[in-house]
Amino acid sequence: MPITRRNFVRSLFVASQAALASRLMTTSLYAYDPSVGALNFAVIGDWGRRGRPDQAEVAKQMAIACKQAGAAFVVSVGDNFYEDGVASVDDSHWQQSFERVYSQPSLQVPWYVILGNHDYHGNSEAQIDYGQTHPRWIMPARHYSKVFAIDAVTNLECFFIDTSPMIAEYKDMPIMQSIHTQNVASQLKWLDESLDASKAQWKFVIGHHPIYSGGLGHGNQPEMIKLVRPILHKNDVQAYFAGHDHDLQHLRDDDLDLYVSGAGSEHRPVMKTPLAAFGESTSGFILVSVRRENMHVRYYDNLGNIIYTTTATVTSQA
């Protein structure tokens, strides 16, 4: 039965709900493992600080979560190297901020990567080139898409976009000159047409800058609201993943879930906003589990605690 429309049902599982359920069910809510039978992957952003201050802690906990879930890949939502990107494919940052920090066996999976604004401070092209000789690092272009099989009849297609060229303030920064050569109109046209043509049941878009955000570091991004948000709603995208604000958030924009995972190495204050379902000023990452008709998202802090859980369920009808 094809999925023709989406009806999102979200729930946050807390201890009181589990106690109630235990009286009504023979098994506890906590007996349910959302990773089993799902396509699992981690989302991390804003991380490359040569292991400091919380980067190594987050990496350790992400490795444990990815091992337990059998994660198939990792998504990096940009700002991969602070403060000024990398100078070349031989920059010491590669070893000190990536290879040696994320060295655990469970993290030796494909990393699907995009650029953040700090990556544009350096040689952004070098991050594309690095993947030619290091197959774990996947960034074939500044924007690209990838289809993942969930089961024999269900696919997830992820659309990785380059948001920094869309942000007006960067165009006046001498350190970010390579942004001027990027064609924003062409990228937006590609995104709209590719989403429209996609046959995947699940469609996620991944960018560095949030659309809406309660992060006090940056907050709502007007250019993303104007340029990207309409395309996502038009094409029935279920989720948008971002970083940039150094915190963990979940916001709801009608039928579009907005996930912020920008706390890979440090955290900043976050405030409650009208769209916010969750926000926490802590270092950490997200673990996503996708099945045919539902997705389960868990937020982990740098100590390995699950601090928030949400579920989105897609119902099918003829």
Active site (catalytic) residues: 218
Q: Strands 239-242 and 73-76: what pairing?
A: unpaired
Chain mean position to CA 92: 25
Name the maximum alpha-carbon separation found in the chain.
63
| Preceding amide of 99 cis, omega within 30 | no
Reading the block at residue 62, the tokens are 């992400």
CA atoms of 95 and 111, how far apart (whole Å): 15
